Amino acid sequence: MASTLALAPGNVRVVRSIDDKIYVGLRPLSNRNCIAVPWARKGRSFSVVRASSENGISVKSLGLSIEECEAAAVSGKFPDPPVVDRPMGPKGTPVVNPLILTRRPRRNRRLPTLRAAFEEITLSPANFVYPLFIHEGEEDAQIGAMPGCFRLGWRHGLVEEVYKARDVGVNSFVLFPKIPDALKSQTGDEAYNDNGLVPRAIRLLKDKYPDIVIYTDVALDPYSSDGHDGIVREDGVIMNDETVHQLCKQAVSQARAGADVVSPSDMMDGRVGAIREALDAEGFQDVSIMSYTAKYASAFYGPFREALDSNPRFGDKKTYQMNPANYREALIETELDEAEGADILLVKPGLPYLDIIRLLRDNSALPIAAYQVSGEYSMIKAGAMHQMIDEEKVMMESLLCLRRAGANIILTYFARQAASVLCGMKGN
């Protein structure tokens, strides 16, 4: 039997003659004016290899080598079109006519290669900023509410953790100090001590790893005996302008130690502009400001406050952190921070506030950061420990969702673990 080559409008297909009828795919040709091309049948047949097992078509491989395929092609011996074997559905599957659909989006999801080609958002270790807790002690101390996280001794544990993170591509870090109670005061003066815990840690890291990017936290709560982000007045009111004065000195001290990005997390009004002016006056024009633009008064911060022993001594932080019910208010904060000179805008918490991340992304040309906070981290860890979820898959999905919402960088305690997964290692 001779096979034929048929010319269809706008397409060229190889067809075969079966029972004296000419077919293209499953359709018989009405136009029988075809060019007969006899196929050479001598020698071994070519192998036909399936691209994937996902397309539901079974084709037998005959296993010719590349050299054998090339030799056959040179001699003019080409394979027959593969015999299509479509697997049957389970017993009881209804027999239906194919739906007449203009679009079938699943076609672009059939194969891993197609899915990778059309992936809209990517995740890499460069997107991560790794928050590290430090303290004055020599030994690392486990944080009970945050499995896998430690208060690191600033001389040894901190340096070792940064080394491990850099090994999997994480090169950005933010430092949070556990300050001894003896050094805390109502005005938080220890925050701008040039020989304090944070400046010493910055100088050590920059000496050891000069190419890393160090972010710092600008706020008084770790240094305040009251546990608030600002100075507390006699009647319990958090003083705004007086607090900003202290924050400016803190930011300059951190920049002097070698910080690359200072991050006011206090939510005082006007602090971004004041800090920018203070940094510029001291010659630190190249130090960036990542403003906690939309920091909400969230219940997700609990484990973090245990890590730093910085719970408010009284009351809460609702008079300066944002109301979780408010959406449009984030635009006010965005406009102010941009006007005052912020270089990066941050949303905190992350996953429960994906709409706010997208809001900032759509209304600002500045880079957007998201903080996957301690409560988010601890919930994933707890769910995994109770075998309710797959920790690695949920971890990676949550980070991808933050990126999809519009975050350029993500502050996450999963940074080293997630980067290990991206590098093809098991995330530990």
Alpha carbon distance 227, 222 (integer Å) = 7
Active-site pick, 348, 381, 393, 426? 348
Sorted by sequence, the CB contacts under 8 Å of residue 90 that are 6+ apart come out as none
Closest alpha carbon to 392 in 369, 419, 360: 419
317 is catalytic: no
Nearest alpha carbon to residue 321 among 344, 343, 353: 353
Q: For residue 50, give the amino acid letter.
A: R
Answer whether 349's CB lies under 8 Å from 300's CB. Answer: yes
Identified catalytic residue from 178, 295, 317, 381: 295
Could you tell me which of 130, 126, 120 has the C-alpha nearest to residue 367? 126
Q: What is the DSSP string of 329-362?
A: HHHHHHHHHHHHT-SEEEEESSGGGHHHHHHHHH
Strand pairing report for 141-142 and 150-153: antiparallel
In our burial notation (b when 16+ CB lie closer than 10 A, e otherwise), range 315-324 reads eebeebbbeb
- The answer to whether 295 is a known catalytic residue is yes
Task: Yes or no: say if 219 and 264 are a contact pair by the CB < 8 Å rule.
Answer: yes
Taking Cα atoms as reference points, which of 159, 166, 165, 291 lies closest to residue 217?
291
CB 173 within 8 A of CB 213: yes
Point out the residues that are catalytic.
Answer: 295, 348
